[in-house]
Amino acid sequence: ESILDDLVKEAYERMNYDLRASHILVMVNPDAMPEDTLKAYMKILDAKNRIDSGEDFGLVAAEISEDPSARDRESQRNNTTIPGNKGDLGYFTAFDMVYQFETGAYNLKVGNVSMPVRTNFGYHLIKLTDRIPAQGEIEAAHLYLKMTENATKDDSAYIKSRIDSLYQRIGQGEKFEDLVNKYSDDKGSASRGGLLPKFRVNRMVPEFIRAISQLNDSGEISKPVLTSYGWHIIKLHSKSGIKPFDEMKEELEKRIKKDSRSQKSREVIIRDIQKEYNFRANNDALGKIYELVDSAIYEGKWTVPSGVDLNEAVFRLGDKSYTQADFAAFIAQKQNIGKDESKYEFINKKFKEYVDDKCLEYEDSRLEDKYPEFKAIVTEYRDGILLFELTNKKVWSYATEDTAGLKNYYELHKKDFMWDQRLDASIYTVNDTSYVSSVRDMLKNGMTDDQVLKEIHNDSLKIVNVEHKKFEREDNDLIDSIKWKKGITDNVVKGNKIVFVVVHDKIAPEPKSFNEARGLITAGYQEYLEDEWIKQLRNKYPVVINEEVLSSLTNE
């Protein structure tokens, strides 16, 4: 958690600035063989030496970078040439790039070139070309004059003179939106006064962002800006900047957990485990695994060959050795190799997974010895679970399933499951008050509840509702408010309804039936079983209390 806290603070600090950087990439798989990794490293180091000797970063990038966007390339759509960016990645902020690249860029000063930075793509040289305050979410409009493909020098000069003229007209008081509507080549935004959808720095070409970074007030207009698309005059509407840390903390934590940097805490723990227990890899022993794994791995059908001596340790950790056989079995269980992945890279990747898993497993097995408080908690949980399972077996589940024992317990303890005095009564609710007299007359003439309902409901089903049961005290407020004697009570008005009670009989206290008291009987039987079980345990394991020690605790 401390690492997560550090990552959150680090990300927020970085998000206060937007960076513009260029890079040179030499690709190498993260699990490549050592000789391939060394070859890539020497190539990127040679590029670094050339730049340090005075060669232009962009020209070196166009020559050797394995990022295809660095050099000119043919468009497959219309057979035109797409100009290379010479390694220029434009503007970005935290989370826009892979974490290692982001870290390399944010650690640079403007104008400096990094040492080789390793990511999952390979080795990078990074040149930081600009650092600006965080722009956040930007809302802006533009007046745009398109630069035609294969424009001549005269074409470029003509467009430049047009954009300068329009900028001068804005300065003389003409309305920006009117000029946009009339002259802008971005017809999609022209009808909205040139307004673009909201964007962040990584969504626009760098020259556009650089110009916006120099605008501060809503309504402020830039000088003409040349990009790879043409000329722009930009009008700022708003920039959100960055929110306070407290408002962003929760969001940053969520983003970090989804980002590659979330692995940092795991990596730190594994590194510390390896250091503490003197991790030692045996690359010579690993070489035998390269030889054993064949093309069957691509079909998920590779098996560990029998009769081969695989007892040499591929690595050691603390007092434990992990053999070739152990690692080979691990590979056999996880044959998820990519179609274009070399078996060497696959084995290296699996070896790292295997080492990481075993490091955590080794540490886990020693936690109780290293942390006595943790051991006490684990013991408490273990004992609690055991006690729960044993009590469930001997008391709770046993009681619910032992029907004969429950009935026997009921017969012996009937007086523990008694009804208090109850009232056998029917509560009549008459929804149509014009029927009240008729209903009361029927009841006075000795008709039962069912007979009354049958008689009265010939025409409608909602005239009368009847609740007939044996009521205890506090079961019903109306029942509690009447005298408990046979007969029909007075009418009670409740809204637009009339309510009265027909008292049939007063019932003296009596034992509940087995089914009526089953829940209480089960609880009582469980208590009985637990008491008996504890008596047996006390007889089997006598308890001796040291009264002197006990009294000393009481005194304290």
Sequential DSSP letters for 344-391: HHHHHHHHHHHHHHHHHHHHHHTHHHH-HHHHHHHHHHHHHHHHHHHH
Ordered per-residue pLDDT tens for the chain, 556 residues: 788 899 999 999 999 999 999 999 999 999 899 899 999 999 999 999 999 999 999 999 999 999 999 998 887 666 677 889 999 999 999 999 999 999 999 999 999 999 999 999 999 999 999 999 999 999 999 999 998 877 888 989 999 999 999 999 999 999 999 999 999 999 999 999 999 999 999 999 999 999 999 999 999 999 999 998 999 999 999 999 999 999 999 999 999 988 888 888 889 899 999 999 999 999 999 999 999 999 999 999 999 999 999 999 999 999 999 999 999 999 999 999 988 889 999 999 999 999 999 999 999 999 999 999 999 999 999 999 999 999 999 999 999 999 999 999 999 999 999 999 999 999 999 998 889 999 999 999 999 999 998 888 765 557 899 999 999 999 999 999 999 999 999 999 998 999 999 999 999 999 999 999 999 999 999 999 999 999 999 999 999 999 999 999 887 6
Q: Return the DSSP state at 470.
A: E
How large is the C-alpha radius of gyration of the chain?
42
| Average pLDDT of the residues of the chain | 93
Q: What percent of the chain has pLDDT over 70?
A: 98
pLDDT, residue 77, reads 66
Are the C-beta atoms of 235 and 176 separated by less than 8 Å? yes
pLDDT digits (tens, 9 = 90+) for 307-318: 999 999 999 999
Are the C-beta atoms of 136 and 32 separated by less than 8 Å? no
Closest among 363, 367, 395 to 379, alpha carbons compared? 367
- Dihedral of CA 211/215/219/222: which sign? negative
Sequential DSSP letters for 168-190: HHHHTT--HHHHHHHH-S-HHHH
Exposure string over 137-167, b if 16+ CB within 10 A, otherwise e = ebebbbbbbebeeeeeeeeeeebeeebeebb
∠ CA 187-189-190, rounded to 5°: 60
Give the contacts of 468 (CB within 8 A, at least 6 positions apart): 425, 426, 427, 449
> Measured between alpha carbons, how far is 159 from 179 in angstroms, rounded to an integer?
15
Q: Return the DSSP state at 455.
A: H
Greatest Cα pair distance, the chain, in angstroms, is: 119
DSSP lists the bridge partners of residue 320 as 317
> Measured between alpha carbons, how far is 88 from 61 in angstroms, rounded to an integer?
9
DSSP lists the bridge partners of residue 23 as 126
Sequential DSSP letters for 245-309: HHHHHHHHHHHHHHSGGGGHHHHHHHHHHHHHTT-EE-HHHHHHHHHH--GGGGGT---PPTT--
Q: Which residue do the tokens 């000119």 mark?
A: 72
DSSP lists the bridge partners of residue 426 as 468, 502
Contacts 24+ apart (CB under 8 A), 488-495: 488/440, 488/443, 488/444, 491/436, 494/429
Burial of 390 (0-12, 13-18, 19+ CB in 10 A): exposed
> Measured between alpha carbons, how far is 277 from 184 in angstroms, rounded to an integer?
68
> Measured between alpha carbons, how far is 16 from 18 in angstroms, rounded to an integer?
7
pLDDT, residue 463, reads 87
